[in-house]
Structure 1
Amino acid sequence: MRFLSLTFALLLFALAQRLVAPEEVARSGVIGKALPAVVRVQGTPLAPGEEGVVGTGFFVSPIRVVTNYHVVRDLTDLTVRLSDGRTYPAERFAVDPGIDIALLTVRGVQAPRVLTLTKTPARSLPLGMGVVLVGFPYGQGPLASYGILSGVGPLEVPTPDPSVGAEVGEYLFTDAPLTVGNSGSPLLSLQGEVIGVVADVIGGPAGVGGIGVAVPGELVAQSIQDLERFGIPQRGWLGASLVSLDELPPVLLRAVGLTTVQGAMVDKVEPGSPAARAGLRGAQRDAQGRLLALGDVILAVEGQAVKDKADVVRLLARHRPGDRVRLQLWREGRRLEVTLTMVARPRR
């Protein structure tokens, strides 16, 4: 009887709030709980004369806020503003440009609420699931929007700075409306878990012909754990830029005996990186950047065939410094295997 009374009371409350459908009730509850944890992030541009950047972040612990690296990269005198208007100073604690994440320390306040990042792999999230977005578009807000999880996969369009976010193997895509200022916003499931951190919008504002792009929550959770413990990400990395085979001229592939477009070519190798230490060879290009000869082609990681460069990034990200990882390659018309030893990446 007590359960029935409580259920009836909740139903009456929902009706009083003009929320009838169960999904409306769930959505409203998620937004209400998220609002105290979401903050506006802003600061003073390092370069004189430039406009200040406004973004969004959210508390993941009593004193830590996560946001995008590209939001705070060129700012000083950082502050965060809570949903109730109170403003507090903040400073960078650690950054992870590879997945476009920054962790801030907020001074003078304990978080009114913290949000929990999912541990569910991106590819296990069901397409079409409802998602809620809370942030500060154009600095206004906090404002909420709603949509679905539209897709999971690599980002195929060029970004303004290829070095930022280069280690995100696959992104979440959503039709939930978002725009300038939403960078760093939490993308939440209807259970209240953060399934992604908004990083960009492609093709114009989402909901107006654009697509929202978010870094998967389980990848961000892994990064935060590393940043708190070590100050730098411990995610496995190759230390080389890659090009998916299906982006290359077929004539070049045939010239080295390749009959598949499943794989990723090593383009440029960073000195001192795991790729360099394992002897991986990069591509040859002319002064204008035109491809003259292929670099090593990665066909598999630890025996698992790769489809494209996103697969390579995703599979290597599972490993930690000290791990030995086998790569199956195609070089000069023959298959061979090399072993990478993962190392701690340099601080940036």
Structure 2
Amino acid sequence: MKTNWKALVFVGLLSSATTLAGFKLLSNDSEKDVIFKEAQSESLARFTSTGTPAGAPGDFVYAAEATTPTVVHIKSTMSRQSSSREQQIPDIFRDFFGDGFGGGGGRSAQPAEATGSGVIISPDGYIVTNNHVVEGAQELEVTLHNKAKLRAKVIGTDPSTDIAVIKIESKDLPAVTIGNSDAVKVGEWVVAVGNPFNLESTVTAGIVSAKGRGLGIIGSSRRYGNNATPASLASVDSPLESFIQTDAVVNPGNSGGALVNLKGELIGINTAIASPTGSFAGYAFAVPSSIVKKVSSDLIKFGNVQRGYLGISLDDLDSRKAEEYGVKVNDGVYVRDFTDNSAAKAGGVEKGDVIVKVDGLRINSIPELQQSIGLHKPGDKVNLTVNRDGKEKDITVTLRNRTGGSDIIKRDESAAVLSSLGAQFGNLTDGEKQKLAKFKHEGGVKVLSVEGGKLARTGVEEGFIVTKVNGKAVRSVKEFESALAGKEDSMVQFEGLYPDAPYDVYSFGFRL
């Protein structure tokens, strides 16, 4: 019986050394640097306290001792508005996210807190976590393994992988060793370290159940309510899902925590669970460390992720689809069509080809292909092996960026600020302006849609009119954008109302 993962899976806000080589991943003097600890190839036996051989169900003491000092507790505080609509959220999610998530009539601004985990990736304070742990946060507080509490700031987020990087001001911190998630095998023992239920440094163990899981949960699960999923990714191209599935127990608060092998090497960041109740039911999913390393380094260096694109429309294959498409193989990824300025088409890929390898590595599914390509930046060359009319052919493709070029795209600071709000804005009509004037409002900008992001986390709904930013009136979208210009990583206070209740003015703020 085929499991319907989309029906089962929701991403929490699960929140509601060895011989090491220092590896300087980012070495351009004009950019920020981060030092990662890279794993060396070592025999597994020496990393278990009992000396048990690789593959045996040995003890997990070494992995736990090596990892727990690197895992932190994250508390994010935001202001949000409660709404009568929240009462419609099913009790299953109300229980999962904690008291105060729903209930109560009308709208009112309320402080809200979410908790999760994070993993220190460099001695100078860079921490990787999930985007949904920090999304919309007004303040971030990190608690280290030694109980020290420090304020953190967001360095960058990537909703398409649900990965974020934050930073605390500290030195000589214990940093996790980055392992090779591509080398992880199904059936291998793994350890999950996090802060479920606000219990610090909890360690659980299990095995890798599967790899390359594409669940369709990033950007497609808004139906579960404001806090049930990461920010909606309607405006984000190509969510990248290639999860490691494990049966290690993962519960609320584990989100952003470490999944490590018995050597204590990071092989994934715990992100999601599949459960009908909101608590662990045997299925947990982690973003592979290969993706984590790529995304976090890009966020630190460029402020956004540099992803290479093939520019193709794809379909997974099985025997039925192979017959339907008239191809000679059942495994691989079928090329249905091309986007404008497609790198694959320019490189010689044709409609009807089946991609079976990337740089010599076998590709069986779309998630595997997305992961292989997503680890590259625009301008990189990749070797695709395609099956065309029953014969394999190697094609070299130069990847392009999302605009069809090959240049590195640096973050537009003003666009990044607006994007973080997760909404579309429009100017008021003359009639709306006249109505507001009767209540001594100078004008405003209307929220046309809420697609996730920080406004969604505060409870703002479609139709809300922002009248002031930091106490200054805004009368148009242009004035609104100007008021937010240069405010990244700053506290911003918003004031506004709903047109059906112009006497009720709401004020809320958060850090952009």
Both structures adopt the same fold (TM-score exceeding 0.5): yes
CA drift at 1:185: 0.6
Cα 1:187–1:121, aligned 2, differ >3 Å: closer, same or farther?
closer
Aligned identity (percent) is 25
Q: 1:233 aligns with which of 298, 305, 308?
A: 305
Secondary structure of the residue aligned to 2:113 is coil
Q: CA deviation at 1:235?
A: 4.4
**Partners of 1:130 and 1:301 in 2: how far apart?**
28
Give the Cα separation in 2 of the matches to 1:342 and 1:194.
Answer: 28
SS at match of 1:154: strand
Measured in 2, the distance between the counterparts of 1:204 and 1:30 equals 30
Partner of residue 134, structure 1: 193
Can you list the C-alpha shifts for 1:68-92, whole angstroms capped at 9, x where unaligned?
A: 1222233332221223443222111
- Given candidates 184, 190, 212, the residue that maps to 1:154 is 212
Aligned to 1:117: 178
Q: Output the CA distance in 1 between the equivalents of 2:78 and 2:336.
A: 34
Query: In the alignment, is residue 90 of structure 1 matched against residue 152 of structure 2?
Result: yes
Residue identity matched to 1:72: V
State how far apart, in whole Å, the 2-side matches of 1:48 and 1:269 are.
43
> What is the distance in 2 between the residues matched to 1:146 and 1:228?
30
Corresponding residue for residue 167 of structure 1: 240
| Corresponding position of 2:76 | 43
Give the Cα separation in 1 of the matches to 2:399 and 2:80.
36
For residue 28 of structure 1, report the CA deviation from its aligned partner. Answer: 3.1
The answer (yes or no) to whether the contact 2:244–2:288 under 8 Å persists in 1 is: yes
Seen in structure 2, the aligned counterparts of structure 1 residues 335 and 191 have a Cα distance that, compared at 3 Å, is closer
Moved more, 227-236 or 210-219: 227-236
CA 1:260–1:91 in structure 2 vs 1: closer, same or farther (change >3 Å)? same
Aligned counterpart in structure 2 of residue 262 of structure 1, from 308, 318, 331: 331
Distance in 2 between residues matched to 1:141 and 1:92, nearest whole Å: 24
Of 339, 345, 363, 1:306 maps to 363
Give the corresponding residue for 2:9.
none
Give the residue type in structure 2 aligned to 1:136: N
* Separation in 2, partners of 1:94, 1:221: 13
**Counterpart residue type for residue 268 of structure 2:** G
Question: What is the rounded CA distance, in whole Å, between the counterparts of 2:375 and 2:266 in structure 1?
Answer: 20
User: How far is the alpha carbon of 1:196 from its aligned partner?
Assistant: 1.5
Measured on the aligned residues, the alpha-carbon RMSD in Å equals: 4.0
Contact 1:176 1:206 in 2 (8 A): no
Which amino acid in the other structure matches residue 134 of structure 1?
A: V
Preserved contact between residue 120 and residue 128 of structure 2 (Cα < 8 Å): yes
Deviation at 1:66, TM superposition (A): 0.5
Shift of 1:135: 0.9
Under a length normalisation based on structure 2, what TM-score does the superposition of the two structures give?
0.50
In the alignment, is the contact (CA less than 8 A) between 1:263 and 1:308 conserved in 2? yes
Post-superposition offset of 1:195:
1.8
Q: CA 1:69–1:240 in 2, change beyond 3 Å: closer, same or farther? A: farther
- Residue type matched to 2:206 in 1? I
Runs of 5+ consecutive residues of structure 2 not aligned to the other structure: 1-48, 83-100, 102-111, 221-232, 403-408, 417-512
2-structure distance, mates of 1:33, 1:330: 45
User: Amino acid of the residue matched to residue 196 of structure 1?
Assistant: G
Q: Would you say 1:323 and 2:392 are equivalent positions?
A: no
Between the aligned partners of 1:206 and 1:52, the Cα distance in structure 2 is 18
Counterpart residue number, 1:60: 121
Matched, 1:28 2:57: no
TM-aligned CA distance change 1:205 to 1:222, over 3 Å: farther
For residues 369 and 348 of structure 2, what CA distance do their matches in structure 1 show?
17
Q: Distance in 2 between matches of 1:99 and 1:296?
A: 29
Aligned residues: 308
The structure whose Rg is larger is: 2
Residues 163-193 of structure 1, C-alpha deviations (whole Å, 9 max, x = no match): 5893244x32222111121111111222221
Counterparts of residues 154-233 of structure 1 (less than 5 Å): 154-159=212-217, 161-162=219-220, 163=233, 166-169=239-242, 171-203=243-275, 209-233=281-305
Task: Indicate the SS of the match to 1:150.
Answer: strand
CA distance in 2 between partners of 1:216 and 1:102 (Å):
14
User: Residues of 1 paired with 2:78 and 2:250: CA distance?
Assistant: 23
- Do the aligned partners of 2:71 and 2:201 also contact (CA within 8 Å) in 1? no
SS in 2 for 1:232: coil
- Structure with the bigger RCO (C-alpha within 8 Å, sep 6+) is 2
Residue 98 of structure 1 aligns to a residue in which SS?
coil
**Distance in 1, Cα, partners of 2:136 & 2:341:** 27
Q: Is the 1:205–1:211 contact (alpha carbons within 8 Å) kept by the matching residues of 2?
A: no
**Partner of 1:69 in structure 2?**
131
How far apart, in 1, do the equivalents of 2:277 and 2:192 lie?
A: 14
